[in-house]
Structure 1
């Protein structure tokens, strides 16, 4: 893995804008990991990354700390920092959290006209990505929709937790990048879910969301196990 290639166009031979902030560098790394440029299991060399990004190694370590808290990277004593490779139990834990947080937000959260319009816009983006055959676009729209559903709760703590969960989900979804049908099937399921919320059928929407999450979990676990989902 040539890490410098994963950062072409960022530094331009100079220092990255906002490079003094570890959080900004964490965002750069997170986006490159999400795009599959730094696959699960990749060792992140401090020396090479600091040079590629034009930042100090201390700033890079701050970024690693942020990403480690989000389970995107892991520090292995005496070996270094690696992009996390979520396993079956990680997937189960992610979906345990999602089944508790998301349906509750849909059922009891505050829904206003502006919120519904934002959800509709995300459905439109997902449909455009589907029409264009963009797996990344569908995945992005899907994540933004689920983030918006949790935001219905009005809880900043739950939204922060969901940010962490969704960041880890990016790694879980990477193996599905070559399986467009995994993402495409959820475009209209998301649309149906938003339609239920708009119609005030929130109990039905929460129940459907739980079924939806169950199905996604089983499909991801089957992929990890090299099986065909039932």
Structure 2
């Protein structure tokens, strides 16, 4: 019997992936109200299909339904941010520690680093943030596990929502452009364990910066 994961995605799942990508890229922002009529028209789908999309993304924690008000992009809590970083350490650090330096995903990591560095003079922080997300998604791709890769896409989307709440994208992203490059350099040099140690430290620093900025919002 075929695994359900091997079946092609339904229309609702395909559209959910598109909206998830809009969260990851920063197009959809925390607290934003989603117009059912406009989205159904823009996506060229029925409202019934869109409601199934909403249900899928609500289960993932990316959307929130408020009775008599509609559907909104979710606003992460401090507890959820802490949990996201816990999950990231469990997935990303071992993935990097066991990585093969000539894995195809390393090329993706290099492309993400180059893209972020190219966007720095223009201070295009949304594009830099997207490149950073791609860098970390590529780290997980080093595992060659479709299940981990799919799961991490959900985690990255939630993390982008947390980033979207903060009012200093330069403070959030600028220090990590060079850190990503340094991690990649260690991996390309064949020292995956050292790269993983650097990533663990990186995630701790990132978590503290995000939590500190998040606390100032309150």
TM-score normalised according to structure 1 size: 0.80
Classify 1:157/1:207 alpha carbon distance in 2 versus 1 (closer, same or farther; 3 Å): same
Deviation, structure 1 residue 32: 4.7
Match of 2:47 in 1: 57
Match of 1:169 in 2: 159
- Does residue 127 in structure 1 map to residue 117 in structure 2? yes
Query: What secondary structure does 1:131 align onto?
Result: coil
How far, CA to CA, are the matches of 1:116 and 1:39 in structure 2? 29
How far, CA to CA, are the matches of 2:158 and 2:115 in structure 1? 22
Q: Which moved more, 1:75-84 or 1:123-132?
A: 75-84
Aligned pairs, number: 208
Deviation, structure 1 residue 199: 1.2
CA contact (8 A) 1:111 1:152 kept: no
- Does residue 144 in structure 1 map to residue 134 in structure 2? yes
Match of 2:197 in 1: 207
How far, CA to CA, are the matches of 1:37 and 1:116 in structure 2? 27
- Does residue 89 in structure 1 map to residue 89 in structure 2? no
Match of 1:4 in 2: none
Deviation, structure 1 residue 131: 2.0
TM-score normalised according to structure 2 size: 0.84
Deviation, structure 1 residue 169: 1.2
- Residue segments in structure 2 that go unaligned for 5+ positions in a row: 1-9
